[in-house]
Structure 1
């Protein structure tokens, strides 16, 4: 089997300036195009205002519809060699149609992060707050074991759907080593179905600004993403007041795509809490700040905002969940903290201590070179895809659980989708 034509079915149209998920998708597309593969990107989503220019990369675009046989005609005519599903919901919706009309096409899942893990952690946070636990010390929350996470995840509908999609696909791209390990050790997913594929970046062409050339704090993230909004509220109500008390002239510049009125209402110049909205160039605004803040209390995957900080040589202060998938071990370029007091104390220390700050900036470059090189990871991914394409029949034969799940779930999904399609046509 050759790999010449790739179909990507996107949950949304990629917006690399809005989210890490959009950035990772664009990195994958660049990787495919660089191989000389013909790439088609299709999505049922509305086009967002920050959509990437795919045509400039030579990528064909196609709008598709949910629960509609028009997709059958489209994919049957296209006959791609590989189909990449952007998140498990797209595999649920279109996987059975791809298998019906292109049975030999390799099916790959871009997980982005484990949504079921993120939801479980959000539930744990809510339980803790309802129980009246200290709202500013989350050491116990961040130290939850994989056994506890499994108990909270295993019975959830979203977990069963997400893990089933991973079994049904020939390969799933895992952005976080922690999540791959969780799937293998707790959910019994064979390592042969997973591929480690982090964010892939190249160093910036210009040197990072030094300590004296920078000012203020920065926090950036898509406001539609629940973990980001929770972090903004905790930052506004608890963490920033502690920082501001020690640095009364400091400012926090808050950036994010799709800024809602509830976010702009938090703007308070007197408190130095400045809601700036969407940043046309995230690297520019992060690169001008002295310290980046990411006080995340739940979430999953890799945090694009923290990788951007490394790219810009900007030390960051975050939580264990913020750092979880970032592959730095104990050498974080800034500090990892579990409480509002510790977050604030280290933010102030890095802001004022040029030596501490300089050591953290040096670690940014070390981690980028060691863990996130585009050439290294893109070449490894392409090799894995080629190898899989050459042994696809044997690979599928070994994945009996995936075959079984496709047989049963895709039958039910197929008939339900056809019922919706028939219902829509009769209206």
Structure 2
């Protein structure tokens, strides 16, 4: 009797196929299933199969679906499965089939594990299974952590660990640009760099593409776990911002004995908060500023080196620390001057992230006080992410003000305008958007708060305005006087080349890291 069919699917739990006796095409075929020559069960090929109908194979009811007894076949054994017709032992085509021992976490193994874990079991058995799984998870996380926490190159390099509150994003804020620049400088200084954000649920692909290892979920649950798993592994630990310094400094000392501990203030938070409290007349903010001052000074005193970007903040830190422990380290800014001629550009731009309160206040001050004092009809662009609704409404109601919002590339803005403006009433640290503007060949009119710490040369220093009238006059003059504008462009590019090159960053960070001069 002729037999046709096929074994279509085989796992350690199940086998699917079809069989038909061509001499009795409407009669279901009875089949025996054997494993390694031992019969383990019987099934009937009588299940409907639409694909068989489409192929014109009888009425289509020739399918079989066989589940192996005891749930599955042994995972670690090589199994040969054969399907034969009952009676004469004719082998179904596609059989015998061989299952090799499970050596990978394949779909079959995942299915069997899920099936086993879904079973209803007693409390003791449930505890036993959970304990086993947790042990395996811990083993996998340990193996993964060892691979991801230490780049291969670190075998012959000193290792540096950098901790910040968030994963840096160059387009987001000056703090991100600073930490990215400093990590790249540490690489150039010979360190194998590992980065960990306090929120470990982050995407580290951008940093890893630059050769910076990232300690993230699921391989690590906390920063504390990173420090303990890699105890004694790092020659330098760089803590960015007071939040990370306050939380992890002591644990760094306990787990990374002998490591140089560098605390980067980013900017002095207490200084910015105290200035806001004074302007707004808020006693609560003044009290909070004192609390921040205590935290920042405590962290600075506990560190081996303190990094700031501002000469002004360095002077404040010198009041509490030995001068040799305070280091002014800039961040690198790439020069990319606009190629659009002066006559093809028009207007002024304010650039800032509006989730930062000083920027919201500055934009409102610009719209309501500064631009009305500008005697010329000069368009003003408000650029940046997170712009609040009330600021958008205010801009819409004023002629000549355009609320642009977020842009993916600031050079599209620098190619449009003749200057930028930074009318900040308070703040701290170095203002990244001022540096970006100068590096783009676009002069910036600043308040003293925005220019603080920059030590600007002439004629850029003349663009620092104390009053709305002075700022309006500088905006109008710089917008119309091409010669003055060009002189400020050249001074700005020369300043950025001298102060914010990679060489300057490397030299300053080398000293902060305690490395000998080359």
Is the TM-score greater than 0.5?
Answer: yes
Matches within 5 A, 1:6-21: 6-21=160-175
CA contact (8 A) 1:111 1:173 kept: yes
Match of 2:261 among 86, 90, 107: 107
Match of 2:228 among 76, 80, 86: 76
Q: Deviations over 1:163-185 (max 9, x none)?
A: 11011111111100011012213
Q: 1:71 to 1:342 in 2, by over 3 A?
A: closer
**Residue aligned with 1:212, SS:** helix
Instruction: Name 2:345's counterpart in structure 1.
Output: 214
Deviation at 1:370, TM superposition (A): 2.4
Instruction: Name 1:375's counterpart in structure 2.
Output: 503
In terms of Rg, which structure is larger?
2
TM-score, normalization by structure 2: 0.64
- Equivalenced residue count is 356
CA contact (8 A) 1:15 1:52 kept: no
Q: 1:91 to 1:341 in 2, by over 3 A?
A: same
Question: Unmatched 5+ residue regions in structure 2?
Answer: 1-155
Matches within 5 A, 1:19-418: 19-45=173-199, 53-63=206-216, 70-78=222-230, 79-127=233-281, 156-185=290-319, 188-204=320-336, 208-243=339-374, 246-248=375-377, 250-268=378-396, 271-329=399-457, 331-332=459-460, 335-387=463-515
Q: Deviations over 1:348-399 (max 9, x none)?
A: 111112122122112112211222222122133224424389xxxxxxxxxx
**Residue aligned with 2:257, SS:** coil
CA contact (8 A) 1:18 1:221 kept: no
| Shift >4 Å, 4+ stretches | 46-49, 152-155
Backbone CA RMSD of aligned residues: 2.8
Deviation at 1:289, TM superposition (A): 1.3
Q: 1:362 to 1:388 in 2, by over 3 A?
A: closer
Deviation at 1:87, TM superposition (A): 0.4
Deviation at 1:81, TM superposition (A): 1.6
Q: Deviations over 1:70-90 (max 9, x none)?
A: 544321322222111110110
**Residue aligned with 2:162, SS:** strand
Question: Unmatched 5+ residue regions in structure 1?
Answer: 131-151, 390-427
CA contact (8 A) 2:381 2:404 kept: yes
TM-score, normalization by structure 1: 0.76
Distance 1:190 1:52 in 2: 39
Q: 1:64 to 1:171 in 2, by over 3 A?
A: farther
**Residue aligned with 1:240, SS:** helix
Distance 1:304 1:69 in 2: 33
Deviation at 1:36, TM superposition (A): 4.3
**Residue aligned with 2:296, SS:** helix
Distance 1:174 1:3 in 2: 26
